[in-house]
A and B are shown apart, each in its own frame.
Chain A
Amino acid sequence: DSGVTQTPKHLITATGQRVTLRCSPRSGDLSVYWYQQSLDQGLQFLIQYYNGEERAKGNILERFSAQQFPDLHSELNLSSLELGDSALYFCASSDAGDTQYFGPGTRLTVL
């Protein structure tokens, strides 16, 4: 168990809908990262937050947004969902170093 929690484990929704994925980092970790993993693209970095502030942005679509709250948990919001958004979404956390610890992921299926 990495200490990073993610909810829900599975999400099934329809195209055009909006969903929210939640992540709680390991105790004491200030950084939260979001990744998308699909079969053909591998693990793709989406966005990083550090202590409530956006730190780095990767291949995140404009339909996606994220935030980190004062208690350091983070949410990833996905809107206007398309079939191609079906993937595993992982959250990872780290302290000041470079090692990241991953949560169990949320499997999103868009029908």
Chain B
Amino acid sequence: QKEVEQDPGPLSVPEGAIVSLNCTYSNSAFQYFMWYRQYSRKGPELLMYTYSSGNKEDGRFTAQVDKSSKYISLFIRDSQPSDSATYLCAMSAGNTPLVFGKGTRLSVIA
């Protein structure tokens, strides 16, 4: 079993839809959870950072962490064509290298 599993998609949604992106993980030591957005051939850009369980909201983005289920989610409300990118989940146990999911490719169609 891989340490971090992420559905690669691709995921295609109409503009204005709510998008749900998910990752599961196996290492119970993970405490720091991040979502990165990567446009084609660009560097990953940090979107959301969450420590331990709970929700965090930033504009149209909401990150959720359920440590009991080892499951994290990113929700995008009112999705826009500019949200079309690959979304990578990442996590660490603290002062350890990040472990990334393989990324989910999202297309938002106008």
Contacts and interface: CB of A to CB of B under 8 A. Distances in A.
**Does A pair with B?**
yes
Interface of A: 2, 4, 33, 42-43, 45, 48, 56, 58, 88, 90, 98-105, 107
8 contacts: A2-B43, A42-B100, A43-B88, A56-B97, A98-B32, A98-B92, A99-B46, A101-B46
B94 A98 contact: yes
B110 to A, nearest CB: 27
A90 B97 contact: no
A48 B94 CA distance: 14
A45 B100 CA distance: 9
A38 to B, nearest CB: 11
Contacts of B69: none
Contacts, number: 50
B52 to A, nearest CB: 12
B103 A42 contact: yes
Interface residues of B, number: 22
Interface of B: 32, 34, 36, 41-46, 49, 88, 92, 94-103
B100 A48 contact: no
B88 A48 contact: no
B49 A99 contact: yes
A60 to B, nearest CB: 11
Given A43-B100, A48-B97, A56-B97, A100 B46 contact: yes
Contacts of A48: 97
Contacts of B97: 33, 45, 48, 56, 58
A59 to B, nearest CB: 10
A90 B97 CA distance: 14
Contacts of B100: 42-43, 45
B43 A102 contact: yes
Q: Which 8 A-B pairs have the closest CB atoms?
A: A102-B43, A42-B102, A98-B32, A43-B100, A45-B97, A102-B44, A104-B43, A105-B43
A104 B42 contact: yes
Nearest to A58: B97
